[in-house]
Amino acid sequence: MTQQGVGTGLHFTAVHLHGYYRARYGYGPGDLLNTEWASDRVVSLPLFPGMSDSDVSRVCEAIRAVKKEAAG
């Protein structure tokens, strides 16, 4: 997405991998595989009140380009 000029953000970090939970409860990688799978894949796309239709179109085009590239 960055190559397409669209910023993304980390949406969801597996809570059990945060330092506090690792230290307090002994969690580590591999303990909650579904949570880690989601954490590795979920991102935030641009979304803000002043977003124009052309902004939305640009984000959608970037998603299509990344999807097409991933499909090979």
Q: Mark whether 50 and 71 lie in a shared domain.
A: yes
- Tell me, yes or no, whether 4 lies in a domain: no
Overall number of domains in the chain:
2
pTM: 0.66
pLDDT value for 31: 97
pLDDT of 9 reads 87
For the stretch 5-52, pLDDT in tens is 999 988 788 999 999 999 999 999 999 999 999 999 888 999 999 999
**37 and 52, same structural domain?**
no
Q: Is residue 25 part of a domain?
A: yes
14 and 33 share one domain: yes
- What range does the domain containing 72 cover? 45-72
pLDDT at 16: 95
In terms of domains, do 56 and 68 share one? yes
DSSP 32: S
- Predicted confidence at residue 72, as pLDDT, reads 79
CB 62 within 8 A of CB 6: yes
